[in-house]
Amino acid sequence: MSRRGWHARLSNGLDVIGEHLPGAGLVALRLRVSAGARHEGLHEQGAAHFLEHTTVQASNGKLHTAFNMLGAELHANTSPDETCYFVYVLSDYAPQALTLLSNMLAPPLEKTCVAERHVILQEIERAYDTPVVALYKRVLATLFPDHPIGADVLGTTASLAALSCSNLMDFWRRRYSPKHMTLAIIGGWSPEMASSVTEACSWPNSNRDGEVKDTLPQAQPLVRWVHKPALTQQYLGMGIAGPGLDIGLASYSLPILATVLTGRLNACLRRLGVPAQASAFYVPFDDCGFMFVMLVAPPSGASVGLQALKMVLKTLSAGHVQDDEWSSARTQLAVRLALEAESFTLSARNLIKRWRIARRPMTSTEEMAYVLALQDKDAFEILGQLGPTCCAVTLGSLAEEGLPELTSLIEASEQVFNSRPMSRTANEQK
């Protein structure tokens, strides 16, 4: 079944991208709104996520019943730079699902705002009790302390208390406009679908003034200890500042590099006999991003774990990426992408991501071919765009005096990134 990509820009500025899978029985729809924590102004922390809640609940649950009648279930999420609404249906119901998705984009109602505030407060508490989520949020906040991208997307108890429905309305007018949206459609839709898109998505442009100025986040080095004596393991997180999706296709080297880092770190931990588990993944936003490295070890092994991390970063930033480790990491990424292409929901997500990277409707087949052609010299190039700013956070029973190596990890890492022989052209150009 060959995949065919297409793109159309509607008269209101909405970008619609699609991937047609002839004969597929399902269609997935994903609407991306460029409305995340980074677009929030002062006193608006949590507004993007709050709006996601009010949008989904606007019709007091009737919307969900309407989706369910089509055999569909609407889901949504908010991140530092976007809010996404997504759903999949049997192909026959795709036009109706699209109409529902379109009708959902109404301004927030006072009643829904009051109700959802309580629900979001519960969501905040839940995140606090989940060590890995708490660690990730702390790393993001520590690396970008003076920019809304580092702020907790859920907001805080205080910021939610201060957010009024009119604040939300203001944010909604600024960001929920077709020029800030991308609609992805993937699967086996009927020919009538094209006209349904134009009909359903002809929302007017609000174009309201007073846009919050979006600045490029500046990462800052910091170390933070969070004492949680009840945890049995020590959770160590490191953030290494790096480029965003705006570097284009070169950004595909970043997840490959993360896999190389994970493999190398775990091999080093095994050699040192530390019963720890390491993982690294790259988190890209539009114009910046970071490598998130996580190490989970028993408190007795945390110190040696940090030494391993220091050693591995040193070898990696010196540009020593072997052909075979690059090629196996590259294959792993290709397999992951091919697996994700089997899921309609993930396919729609990846279609939008490819649009943001390549600015054209790139199919998953093209993407895989591109990934498999990446060479280890690409690793060398991309390494040059990582760092030097790093941050480290630890969560667990060890307080500052129990893990002083954390400060030296950051100092050593910055030295390593500063002294490397690579060019940093992309960042300097910015």
Closest residue by Cα to residue 357 from 375, 370, 374, 344: 370
**With CB under 8 A as the contact rule, which of the stretches 110-118, 141-149, 204-212, 379-387 interacts with other proteins?**
110-118
DSSP state of 92: G
Output Rg (C-alpha) for the chain, integer angstroms. 22
State whether the Cα torsion 117-123-126-127 is positive or negative. Answer: negative
30 versus 180: smaller Cβ distance to other proteins: 30
Closest residue by Cα to residue 8 from 247, 204, 193: 193
Contact criterion met (CB below 8 Å) for 385 and 426: yes
- Check residue 307 for interaction with other proteins (CB under 8 A): no
Cα separation of 18 and 354, whole Å? 11
Q: Which of 9, 43, 68, 192 binds other proteins (CB under 8 A)?
A: 68
**With CB under 8 A as the contact rule, which of the stretches 77-85, 140-148, 240-248, 327-335 interacts with other proteins?**
327-335
Amino acid of residue 3:
R
- Check residue 88 for interaction with other proteins (CB under 8 A): yes
Count residues near other proteins (CB under 8 A).
65
Report strand pairing: 222-227 vs 390-396: parallel
- Check residue 324 for interaction with other proteins (CB under 8 A): yes
286 versus 376: smaller Cβ distance to other proteins: 376
91 versus 220: smaller Cβ distance to other proteins: 91
Cα separation of 388 and 386, whole Å? 6
Report strand pairing: 181-187 vs 15-20: parallel
Q: What angle do CA 395, 397, 403 make, to 5 degrees?
A: 75
- Check residue 116 for interaction with other proteins (CB under 8 A): yes
CB count within 10 Å of CB 235 equals 22
Q: Which of 1, 210, 401, 428 binds other proteins (CB under 8 A)?
A: 1
3-state secondary structure of 151: coil
Q: Which of 311, 338, 358, 426 binds other proteins (CB under 8 A)?
A: 338
Q: Which of 336, 380, 424, 427 binds other proteins (CB under 8 A)?
A: 336
Residue showing tokens 């956070």: 393
Smallest separation (angstroms) from other proteins to the CB of 148? 23
Cα separation of 354 and 338, whole Å? 14
Smallest separation (angstroms) from other proteins to the CB of 285? 25
Per-residue binder mask for other proteins (CB under 8 A), 18-57, x = binder = -------xx-----------------------------xx
**What residue ranges bind other proteins (CB under 8 A)?**
1, 25-26, 56-57, 60-61, 64-65, 67-75, 88-90, 115-116, 118-120, 122-123, 125-126, 128-132, 230-233, 263, 270, 275-277, 296-298, 324-325, 327-328, 331-332, 334-336, 338-339, 341-345, 365, 368
